[in-house]
């Protein structure tokens, strides 16, 4: 009973009216016209609505199968056939460079495809997600022969990729990892160790799976400075790209999770498996973060996708379900009761989902457009500034959009009432699936300390200055524009408060490093809410001049008003928490946690 309709109108509004990607693409030398872009969006919508969305409940109810005697994993009914259609349609190489067999379309367009995939079927979407991260690592750090042997089959969709980072004794603290890499006489390495939580580590989609594995060389220094990255295929591959016998890598088990049941989360055992060093020895984290940052943006888009699907279904239910009369008098006197949508609290929840989904779409699409600039601009200064801004935005996109997906799937359950908890309606699956997005590729706490500790303090706020300049320029340009006059003063005030808090936190942290950790979570969300305010103000400006129906323009304007009045004030609570300092968290003795 749960449905999905790709939000192609709002995707087009984000790309063409707000972000004006047509001009961006032309400036970057990307030879695509509007007709082609529209065709890609429409075909992506058709594929996801008709092929992937119907399999969402199937994947949840069936899950993946595991044969302990062989280590083989089978995906839910229809998943492999859908992947075959995905590859046949050319989607696996949509944004990959032409040199490796891809179509090299913009990443900002790829973000739209990714949102549709994840809204249609989040569990299925995890399989190509990991391939995208492996593609980026091989493209940026692989040797030419490695790109020929491994990257081209991944781009073609014949093989898939994984990231093998975490181990049983270490979660996000990779400095503790124990997987070993012993040099072989032929220049390859023997990889031995166990990795856990490996998404798509084993499946039946493709004949080969390319694992990118973090391991230590025999003479490696301790900690993160002694980590190297290795290519370890399921089936052995020689330097000419010829596939051989089965490698010494096997799935030991699959996890039984609260959500994303159709996504195989594997324990992977490497027992002297043949591998090849990618990048420099003991510099594996550099290549790993190429994968990780790509994945963090992708997981943020997963959050956006779940918000949108939950909102769509809650809205449809609220229009249809009759429940009590409006407090201000019957709105449908010919019916026995009014529909849910007339009630203020239902509207509060629906508007929260609408405001967070449409605002998040702009934030995430902008981040993806920065990837286009970094990869294709001929101006070194522009590339550098885009890289600084993207680095700053990445933890915000990942953490805020996934946490908001938990909030909004909860709101959707509330709209459905008791029916929200019944499997046939599909809402409880969205809520369960949303929970994992806040965890994998780095928890919300890790994203928070990455933003405040690394991107602000260690990098001396370089990315923050780029964001502040972007907001300041917009406010100056729109000074006196009646369409956004009600938003500009508030946006400027919040931006000023963020700058002031940043300096205060840095000052406190100089005397007590715990101040960073204590402020990080609230600082990240304060940042996220301010950025969304900026994008909602920009959306109003764009809507006023776009060729849109008046009802759509009014909808953007009223949703922006709701956001500024009802959601942006959450910043005050975050500011108060930051001001309370580290003592409120650290003064309680360990023994007093009883």
| Catalytic annotation, residues | 441
Burial of 248 from C-beta contacts in 10 A (0-12 / 13-18 / 19+): middle
Helices of type H across 264-343 = 284-320
3-state SS string over 197-221? EEECCCCCCCCEEEEEEEEECCCCC
Output the DSSP codes for 95-112. SS-GGGT-----HHHHHH
A 10 A CB-CB count for 306 gives: 27
Query: In the beta sheet, which residues pair with residue 183?
Result: 189
Q: Which of 86, 103, 9, 11 is nearest to 305 (CA)?
A: 11
- What the block records as the tokens of 324 is 């009590």
Identify the H or E element spanning 248. Answer: none
Burial of 587 from C-beta contacts in 10 A (0-12 / 13-18 / 19+): exposed
As a residue count, the chain comes to 594
Helices of type H across 13-72 = 21-27, 34-47, 56-62
Tokens 């700053």 -> residue: 392
Identify the H or E element spanning 228. Answer: strand 228-233
Output the DSSP codes for 139-163. HHH--HHHIIIIIHHHHHTSEEEEE
CB 122 within 8 A of CB 113: no
CB 567 within 8 A of CB 355: yes
Tokens 């940052």 -> residue: 293
Q: What is the DSSP letter of 413?
A: H
User: Rounded distance, CA 39 to CA 89, Å?
Assistant: 13
- What the block records as the tokens of 418 is 């008791």
User: Rounded distance, CA 305 to CA 567, Å?
Assistant: 20
CB 545 within 8 A of CB 337: no
User: Rounded distance, CA 164 to CA 287, Å?
Assistant: 13
User: Rounded distance, CA 192 to CA 179, Å?
Assistant: 6
Q: Which of 5, 18, 37 is nearest to 115 (CA)?
A: 5
Count of CA atoms in the C-beta half-sphere (13 A) of 478: 24
Burial of 533 from C-beta contacts in 10 A (0-12 / 13-18 / 19+): buried
**Helix (H), strand (E) counts: the chain:** 20, 11
């Amino acid at each position: 009973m749960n449905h999905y309709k790709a939000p192609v109108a709002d995707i087009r509004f984000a790309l063409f009216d707000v972000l004006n990607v047509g001009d961006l693409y032309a400036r970057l030398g990307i030879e695509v016209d509007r007709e082609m872009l529209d065709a890609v969006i429409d075909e992506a919508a058709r594929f996801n609505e008709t092929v992937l969305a119907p399999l969402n409940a199937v994947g949840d109810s069936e899950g993946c199968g595991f044969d302990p005697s062989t280590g083989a994993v089978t995906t839910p009914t229809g998943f492999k056939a859908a992947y075959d259609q995905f590859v046949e349609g050319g989607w696996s190489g949509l944004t990959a460079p032409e040199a490796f067999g891809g179509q090299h379309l913009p990443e900002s367009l790829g973000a739209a495809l990714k949102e549709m995939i994840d809204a249609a079927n989040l569990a299925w979407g995890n399989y190509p997600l990991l391939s995208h991260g492996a593609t980026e690592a091989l493209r940026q750090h692989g040797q030419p022969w490695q790109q020929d042997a491994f990257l081209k089959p991944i781009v073609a969709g014949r093989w898939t990729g994984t990231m093998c980072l975490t181990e049983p004794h270490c979660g996000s603290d990779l400095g503790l990892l124990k997987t070993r890499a012993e040099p072989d006489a032929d220049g390859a390495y023997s990889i031995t160790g166990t990795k856990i939580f490996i998404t798509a580590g084993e499946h039946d989609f493709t004949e080969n799976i390319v694992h990118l594995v973090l391991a230590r060389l025999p003479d490696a220094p301790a900690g993160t400075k002694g980590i190297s990255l290795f290519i370890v295929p399921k089936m052995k591959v020689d330097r000419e790209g010829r596939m051989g016998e089965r490698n010494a890598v096997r799935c030991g088990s699959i996890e039984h999770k609260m959500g994303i049941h159709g996504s195989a989360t594997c324990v992977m055992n490497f027992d002297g498996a043949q591998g090849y060093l990618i990048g420099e020895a003991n510099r594996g984290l550099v290549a790993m973060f190429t994968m990780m940052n790509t994945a963090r943006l992708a997981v943020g888009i997963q959050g956006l996708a779940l918000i949108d699907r939950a909102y769509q279904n809650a809205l449809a239910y609220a229009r249809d379900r009759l429940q009590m009369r409006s407090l201000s008098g019957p709105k449908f006197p010919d019916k026995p009761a009014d529909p849910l949508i007339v009630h203020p609290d239902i509207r509060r929840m629906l508007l929260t989902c609408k405001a967070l989904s449409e605002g998040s779409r702009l934030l995430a699409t902008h981040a993806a457009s920065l990837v286009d600039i970094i990869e294709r601009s001929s101006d070194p200064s522009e590339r550098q500034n885009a890289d600084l801004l993207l680095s700053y935005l990445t933890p915000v996109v990942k953490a805020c959009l996934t946490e908001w997906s938990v909030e909004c799937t909860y709101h959707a359950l509330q709209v459905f009432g008791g029916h929200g908890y019944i499997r046939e309606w599909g809402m409880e699956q969205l809520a369960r699936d949303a929970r994992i997005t806040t965890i994998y590729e780095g928890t919300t706490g890790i994203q928070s300390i990455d933003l405040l500790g690394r991107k602000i303090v260690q990098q001396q706020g370089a990315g923050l200055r780029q964001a502040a300049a972007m907001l300041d320029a917009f406010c100056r340009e729109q000074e006196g524009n009646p369409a956004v006059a009600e938003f500009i003063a508030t946006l400027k005030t919040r931006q000023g408060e963020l700058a002031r808090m940043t300096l205060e936190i840095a000052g406190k942290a100089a005397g007590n490093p715990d101040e960073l950790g204590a402020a990080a979570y609230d600082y990240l969300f304060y940042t996220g809410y301010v950025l969304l305010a900026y994008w909602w103000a920009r959306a109003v400006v764009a809507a006023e001049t776009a060729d849109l129906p008046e009802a759509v323009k009014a909808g953007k304007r009223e949703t922006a008003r709701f956001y500024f009045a009802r959601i942006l004030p959450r910043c005050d609570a975050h500011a108060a928490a930051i001001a309370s300092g580290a003592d409120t968290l650290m003064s309680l003795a360990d023994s007093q946690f009883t």
